Amino acid sequence: MNEAPLAGVKVADFSRVLAGPLATMTLADLGAEVVKVERPGTGDDTRQWGPPWDAHGSSYFACVNRSKRSVALDLRDAGDLAVARRLAAEADVVVENFLTGTMDRLGLGFDALAADNPRLVYCSITGFGSGEGATLPGYDFVVQAVGGLMSITGQAGGEPTKVGVALVDVLTGKDAVIGILAALRERERSGLGQRIEVSLLTSLLGSLVNQASATLTTGVAPGRMGNQHPSIAPYETLRCRDGLVAVACGNDDQFRRLCGVLGVGAVAVVSAQTSSNGDPGMSFLHNRDRVEHRAALVEVLERALATDDAETWVRRLTEAGVAAGQVNDVAHALEYADRLGLDPTVEVGDGHPRQVRHPIRWGRSPLPPPTPPPTLGQHTTEIRSHLQEHR
């Protein structure tokens, strides 16, 4: 009988807000048994983050906490702390995102737990690491600022702008899952667990890819370019008769096809004629040329695009093998994915709104059906009873 990829893996989740809960929900989606430890009375901070709300609570909390069980424990109380230690002692994975040193002071640090559970994989998620930045609180918005992301987001000459979602938390949560899965795989060889650490700042820097590479190569930090790409053209939004269309030409052949559809084929093949004063005209033949003369290129393309609407251009360009799309809002993006047969959402039951499903499809391994996000302390009695029986 096929089982979910992480069936049998037990996770003690001491994290809250977004990066940690996203990581542990991903593990739950893949079949792990996840127990979420929350403060009595208030629980995870995101339970209070709204609007929007539904009949069950905050939609923010719901988006990263499905398929978990919740136990309410006051880690300042000796009895509750003992329960937390027993929970961690039987876990395969512990995930936490307290300020560095907090779990050690509670007797829930890696060294203390690994002494009794040497196979434990222990994942610490921090804002700025466990060294000089250990005392700095890690909030996505601040990390977007100090990590350089805001400096390259927004219109040229405009104010630095955050991304429209807590992207750094999301990236960090995914990095945490990668580390956890790799550590579980390594445990199969060594028989031992280990502590891994991922920080919001290093996850962000790792995601800056070509922009970070360009900075290290030239010594010059890139700036904001709106929807334009620093190294490719056209790779941006272009204005047509009724709005914007996103066009991405990753090579010269795609650009020639774009020009063919727009009826400006000569632009792709031949340099502009020599001007009357003898100066050579500009060329759009190769990507390097198009980047250098981007403003003139955009003027030519938008003049052609102004003759029809975005939907028509997207259809024609797509048929020609040119990557193009309308600028959707989130609702239309979900509808678009559904039309493509990607089944982007999933029912979690008990009258809860649908959620965005785990993005990976599996050819053989079945995933467990998702369950609703737990109410605060919903499984406290059940979990306490289990841990008491297995002392």
The DSSP element (H or E) to which 14 belongs, if any, is strand 10-14
Residue with tokens 């542990």: 24
Please name the residues in contact with 177: beta carbons below 8 A apart, sequence gap of 6 or more.
23, 26, 27
Q: Are 301 and 236 in contact (CB under 8 A)?
A: no
Write the burial class of residue 273 (CB in 10 Å: 0-12 exposed, 13-18 middle, 19+ buried). Answer: exposed
Active site residue 338: no
3-state secondary structure of 136: coil
* Alpha helices, H only, the chain: 19-29, 59-62, 78-89, 102-105, 110-116, 140-146, 167-190, 200-207, 209-218, 252-262, 265-269, 287-292, 294-305, 310-319, 330-339, 380-389
Q: How far is CA 245 from the centre of its chain?
A: 24
Could you say which of 44, 92, 140, 169 is catalytic? 169
Q: State the Cα–Cα distance between residues 196 and 131, nearest whole angstrom.
A: 14
Q: How many angstroms separate the CA atoms of 126 and 134, rounded? A: 8
The whole-angstrom separation of Cα 192 and Cα 186 is 8
Of 375, 342, 339, nearest to 357 by C-alpha is 342
Closest CA to 46 of 100, 97, 108, 122: 97
Helix, strand, or coil (residue 244):
strand
Q: What share of the chain is helix, strand, coil (3-state, %, to 5)?
A: 40, 15, 45
Q: Which residues are catalytic?
A: 169
